[in-house]
Amino acid sequence: MKRGSLCVAGVTAALILASAPSSFAGGPIDKGTTDADSDAGLTNNKLYAAVSYDTTKNGSGSSVGPVSVTGSSWAPPACWLAPSWTSKQFAKQVESDYKQVTTDPNQPEYARHATYDFRQNYKDGEYKNYNLDKQDEGMWWGAVENPNAPILERTACNTTLPFWVKNGETPHVKNAITPEILAGLAYEQIKVPSTKVSLAPDDTTKVNLRTWAWLDKAEFKPVSVTASITAPGLNLQATTVAKPVSLKLQPGTGDAETYPASGECAINDDGSIGEPYANGKADETPPCGIRYLRSSGDATFPLKATITWQITWTGTGGAGGDLPDGTFGNEQDVKVQEIQTVNR
């Protein structure tokens, strides 16, 4: 195997991965504590491989929720490779797992052999004694799964066994952590407010009456999340920003017209959407609104108001770009009555 690209295949890889602990085979990184005195105060591997999030500029409150990706099959990364262990941590973990498997009488023989081979590769094979003599020169990288991704996708990194990277170097392997991967993970953490539009008439309207709809500028503003990862020789971050760009109205019945006809109300320059109703505008066409063509009877129509959020990101080294738009919305009940006339 070549250093820096430890993708293995065939029966040997299957055996090694089957017997290797989850911390080496695409599962969660080891959460065990280490000897703080001998490891520069580090007490948890999570300090290295885990991604940290700054959500101080994210949406907040009881009504917020995640955006849904629209018009694309894109999804946040399911797994990635990142610096996970110092040499001392890695040696301690491998030796512990080796002892556990080889002393367990319930383990099958193939698992014992595979675990032995795994250990030997790092102790006296391609690597020598877990690179303990290079403790301060680099890190062991391993697979990290995104717990929010589908399980079959989370295992995409499992065929990459732990490998050594010198501090400050970028490994040329698929799924190595990058600002773009961090941007996707930040996207997953974005929270935006729910959408309850103001209506005139409010809640109860009349058949064939133009109903005005709007959102005040104070209700919707850009939100952002910054994702980062820090390890010796590695400091990456990316900030993902969600900006509201339009409101889509879905009346809840086919017997209705929307204004504009597409149902997409653009955001105004001041950040508001639509225009509040004012006296004297009853005969005007609203820039954003609905006209119901039949009564809802004793029930209501579920008006769905969905905001489209434009997603962009910037990251370490001037990286950046666009990510797929996201949407988030909710329904509100609208009662539509027939206009009552009096015959004399």
Q: Which domain, by its residues, includes 208?
A: 198-337
Q: How many domains are there within the chain? A: 2
Is there a domain that residue 69 lies in? no
**Does residue 36 fall inside a structural domain?**
yes
CB 251 within 8 A of CB 206: no
Instruction: Return the pLDDT at 2.
Output: 32
In a domain, 257, yes or no: yes
CA angle 335, 337, 342 (to 5 degrees): 155
- Give pLDDT tens digits along the chain (344 positions): 333 322 222 223 333 444 444 456 433 333 333 333 333 333 444 446 678 999 999 998 888 999 999 888 999 999 999 998 999 999 999 999 999 999 999 999 999 999 999 999 999 999 999 999 999 999 999 999 888 899 888 888 888 899 999 998 989 998 999 999 999 999 999 999 888 899 999 878 999 999 999 998 766 789 999 999 988 888 999 999 999 999 999 999 999 999 999 999 988 888 889 999 998 888 899 999 999 999 999 999 999 999 999 999 999 999 999 999 999 998 999 999 997 654 44
Asked whether residue 107 falls in the same domain as residue 27, the answer is yes
Q: Do residues 213 and 319 share a domain?
A: yes
Q: Do 118 and 215 share a domain, yes or no?
A: no
Would you call 83 exposed, middle or buried from its count of C-beta atoms within 10 A (0-12, 13-18, 19+)? buried
Give the pLDDT confidence score for residue 18 in this predicted structure: 40
- pLDDT score of 49: 67
> Whole-model pTM?
0.82
204 and 146 fall within a common domain: no
- Identify the DSSP state of 4: T
In a domain, 186, yes or no: no
Residue 344 maps to a domain: no
Nearest-10 crossing angle of helices 87-102, 109-123: 160
* pLDDT on residue 289: 96
CA distance 213 to 217: 13
pLDDT at 60: 86
Are both 278 and 317 inside the same structural domain?
Answer: yes
Residues 267, 309 within the same domain: yes
- Residues 123 and 264 grouped into a single domain: no
Residue 217 has a pLDDT of: 77
Burial state string for 287-315 with b = 16 or more CB within 10 A and e = fewer than 16: bbbbbbeebbeeebbebbbbbbbbbbbbb
Residue 24: predicted pLDDT: 60
Determine the 3-state secondary structure of 110 from DSSP: helix
User: Do both 113 and 219 map to the same domain?
Assistant: no
pLDDT of residue 283: 85
Two tokens, residue 235? 């400091």
Assess whether 85 and 217 both reside in one domain: no
Contact 32, 286 (CB under 8 A): no
At 13 the pLDDT is 36
